[in-house]
Amino acid sequence: MDETIRALVHAKFSKYPKRSYEKGQIIVFSGEDPAHIFYLLSGKVREYAITYRGDEIVVNIFKPAAFFPMSWALNHTPNNFFYRTEEATEMHIVPADAAVAFLKSHPEVTLDLLSRVYRGVDGLFGKMIQLMSGTAKSRLAYELLTECRRFGIAQPDGSFLLETNESDLAARSALSRETVSREMQKLKAHGVKVTPKGVIVTYIHQLEVIVLKESN
């Protein structure tokens, strides 16, 4: 988000009540329409669904300055997802009608939101291609690439640290925990390793090659 846009959003939404949430707290349940939207100050929030087998499928991860769920606020679509904090989180609670009115009166904010939505859609299309034609290895590589680009912490040697684990990668790539563990062993040859701090991706370009090669 552009800093000018971020400042506009903050100036508007920070006027509303602020709440703190502990890690792992569900703030909205599937089938429950929220009473308001959330403006994320700090922390992360996971949007996910539960399959009939009880598996968790991650749809999105929201990071600071995001405000959600806007599909519900704009279109009154039924909410089919859970929203859960990934870590200790602070958010402002904003009435949906106030958020929509703000977007209508500030087209530059609406354009920024639309731009971010399209980037997200492109990411979902890429994940769909992996689900339909990729291997387990390329699906995991694609998820690691996405994590690097959105949340990766750049290291002095050019590698990326991902503060994640195999269970989270399984939920985000729609693979079983066992499959992720097996494929991570294969990716060691491409500079991917699990450490106590998280996952290290040494050569991001090698993951890009895997995604291109094994999903065609």
Q: Does the predicted TM-score (pTM) go above 0.75?
A: yes
Res 134: pLDDT = 82
Query: pLDDT per residue over 74-87, tens digit each?
Result: 988 889 999 999 99
Both tokens assigned to 97: 């009608």
Stretch (H or E) spanning 102: helix 96-105
**Per-residue CA distances from 95 to 20, 63, 136, 146, 191 (Å):** 17, 20, 42, 31, 46
β-bridge mates for residue 82, sequence order: 48
- If pLDDT is split at 50, 70 and 90, which confidence band does 59 have? confident
- Reduced to 3 states, what is the DSSP secondary structure of residue 122? helix
With respect to CATH, is domain 134-214 assigned 1.10.10.10? yes
Query: pLDDT per residue over 21-43, tens digit each?
Result: 999 999 999 999 888 999 999 99
* Mean pLDDT for the stretch of residues 151-155: 90
Residue 47 falls in which region: left (phi positive, over 0), alpha (psi -120 to 50) or beta? beta
Res 178: pLDDT = 92
Res 2: pLDDT = 82
- If pLDDT is split at 50, 70 and 90, which confidence band does 216 have? low
> CA 97 from chain center: how many Å?
25
CATH class of this structure's domain 3-123: mainly beta
Res 109: pLDDT = 94
Q: What does the buried/exposed string (b/e) look like for 14-28 if buried means 16 or more CB atoms within 10 Å of the residue's CB?
A: eebeeeebeeeeebb
- If pLDDT is split at 50, 70 and 90, which confidence band does 1 have? confident
CA distance 73 to 98: 10
Query: pLDDT per residue over 167-203, tens digit each?
Result: 889 888 888 889 999 999 999 999 998 888 899 999 8
CB contact at 8 A, 69 and 33: no
Res 40: pLDDT = 96
Residue 215 has pLDDT above 70, yes or no: no
Both tokens assigned to 43: 């922390």
Query: pLDDT per residue over 92-150, tens digit each?
Result: 999 999 999 999 999 999 999 999 888 888 888 888 888 788 889 999 999 999 889 88
Domain boundaries, the chain: 3-123, 134-214
| Strand blocks (E) in the chain | 18-21, 26-28, 37-42, 45-50, 56-62, 67-68, 82-85, 89-94, 153-154, 160-162, 192-195, 198-201
Q: Is the dihedral of CA 53, 140, 119, 90 positive or negative?
A: positive
Residue 68 has pLDDT above 70, yes or no: yes
159, amino acid identity: S
Res 100: pLDDT = 95
